[in-house]
Amino acid sequence: MYHHGNLRREILEAALAATEESGPANWSLRELSRRAGVSHTAPVHHFGDKTGLLTAIAAEGFALFADELEAVVDDFFEVGVAYIRFAVSHRAYFEVMFRPELYRTEDPEVVAARERARQILLAGSRGLAPTPQQQRAVTLAAWSTAHGFASLWLSGALTESADGDAETVGRQALEAALGHLRRG
Amino acid sequence: MYHHGNLRREILEAALAATEESGPANWSLRELSRRAGVSHTAPVHHFGDKTGLLTAIAAEGFALFADELEAVVDDFFEVGVAYIRFAVSHRAYFEVMFRPELYRTEDPEVVAARERARQILLAGSRGLAPTPQQQRAVTLAAWSTAHGFASLWLSGALTESADGDAETVGRQALEAALGHLRRG
DNA sequence: GAGCAATCTTACCAGTGACAAGATTGGAGG
DNA sequence: CCTCCAATCTTGTCACTGGTAAGATTGCTC
């Protein structure tokens, strides 16, 4: 099928769907091509190689991530909640983004989007501690807690320890770790 | 080479070394076999298939993990530090353990070792909150913070935000998140 | 010292990512 | 209109992979 019209997008979506089902490694470019009804090398023109496809996913993921964090940037605590919400609701993106061996981490689009997200995280916890040293520790703590909860949740490690939806339980964990910072 | 003598161990170590270098997906059984000087199907007898090898790594990893946590079980805060120390010093194990799509999570050895580690984590934060509900939140918070810091550190996400060795910086992050629980 | 069971090998298959060379087609410029 | 170019997709091929089947080797037991 020459001139599919929307192949780049369709392959990308198929990759996301496949990643959602079985992780970012358990699918092949050829499988995605078959699903899209094109030859096994059709994606090459759009992504170069498999790493290129994963790089595109990471770049788009960091951009979406930054967007969602930006929406709540004024509330330090809600940035953490948004972090968790993003991981759960955009699982496939998240699983690629934080697995640097999968894609080209220094791709310009990736770098730009990732840096944008990072700045929002840094801004979110600004002014919560007196010294720069403590400031940095607070940022790290918040980032670690949100990221850790999200990772554990996605890996299924919490199925025995937590009941409820991710956002509710995540809020409780964030509150236990960081609530004292919020209240001053 | 018939009757290598120690093939199971050698393949396992080679897999750990390769995982350390390039992640748990970027090596092949055949490559490990070549390194060990045996035919490409020799590992089959010991592990069944590639998933079996990764399952063995996960089982051994959780057992080592439980051992290291056990050594400091009396101090809630030090359990978190030990968690981070394990992730950094046994990176290959850690990266497999928390990637359930890679191995058979319900393998009896895996289940036993993982459950042992889980109990230590639960015990570590016992008595730090009045109600069971808060108790659970504190456990989740501590686990999330340690796990998140370890994951971010291993993925390289912190290279711009933190200087120093993982344990030192990790302590600071844990202190910022959980220090208030320690001091009562 | 015979035979068994554990361990390893050789041979093969389908599936994969990458590459090279070529086919098709929409659209721009004459 | 129509020519031709660049974007897009296809066919063909390669080395490599994981998995399976069948068979070879060898340490150990009795």
Say which amino acid occupies A88.
V
Handedness of CA A39, A41, A47, A53 (dihedral sign): positive
Chain D positions with an atom below 7 A of a protein C-beta are 7-12, 16-22, 24-27
| Å: A118 CA to D8 C1' | 37
Domain boundaries of chain B, sorted by first residue: 1-48, 56-182
Q: What CA–CA distance (Å, rounded) separates A9 from A16?
A: 11
Confidence of residue A139 (pLDDT cuts 50, 70, 90): very high
pLDDT of residue A3: 80
- Residue whose C-alpha is closest to residue B115's, from B161, B173, B59: B59
In this complex, the answer to whether residue A144 has its CB under 7 A from any atom of chain C, a nucleic strand, is: no
- Residue whose C-alpha is closest to residue B68's, from B172, B177, B146: B146
Looking at domain B56-182, its CATH architecture is Orthogonal Bundle (1.10)
The CATH classification number of B1-48 equals 1.10.10
What is the average pLDDT across A99-119? 97
Q: What CA–CA distance (Å, rounded) separates A120 from A143?
A: 11
What is the average pLDDT across A2-23? 94
Q: What CA–CA distance (Å, rounded) separates A65 from A147?
A: 13
- Whether the per-residue pLDDT at A74 is higher than 90: the answer is no
- Whether the per-residue pLDDT at B93 is higher than 90: the answer is yes
**b/e string for B122-143 if b means 16 or more Cβ within 10 A?**
ebbbeebbeeeeebbbbbbbbb
Window A:114-143, CB contacts with B under 8 Å: 118, 122, 129, 133-134, 136-143
What is the average pLDDT across B106-111? 98
Identify whether the C-beta of residue B168 lies closer than 8 Å to the C-beta of residue A129. no
> CATH for A60-182, among 1.10.760.10, 2.40.50.140, 1.10.10.10, 1.10.357.10?
1.10.357.10
In this complex, the answer to whether residue B7 has its CB under 7 A from any atom of chain D, a nucleic strand, is: no
In this complex, the answer to whether residue A6 has its CB under 7 A from any atom of chain C, a nucleic strand, is: no
What is the average pLDDT across B5-14? 96
A155 touches chain B (CB under 8 A): yes
Chain C positions with an atom below 7 A of a protein C-beta are 6-11, 15-21, 23-26
Residues A14-55 have pLDDT tens digits of 999 999 999 999 999 999 999 999 999 999 999 999 999 999
Q: Which of B26, B156, B172 has the CB atom closest to A137's CB atom?
A: B172
Q: Do domains B1-48 and B56-182 have the same CATH topology?
A: no
- Whether the per-residue pLDDT at B176 is higher than 90: the answer is yes
- Residue whose C-alpha is closest to residue B20's, from B94, B116, B128: B94
Residues B125-148 have pLDDT tens digits of 888 999 998 999 999 999 999 999
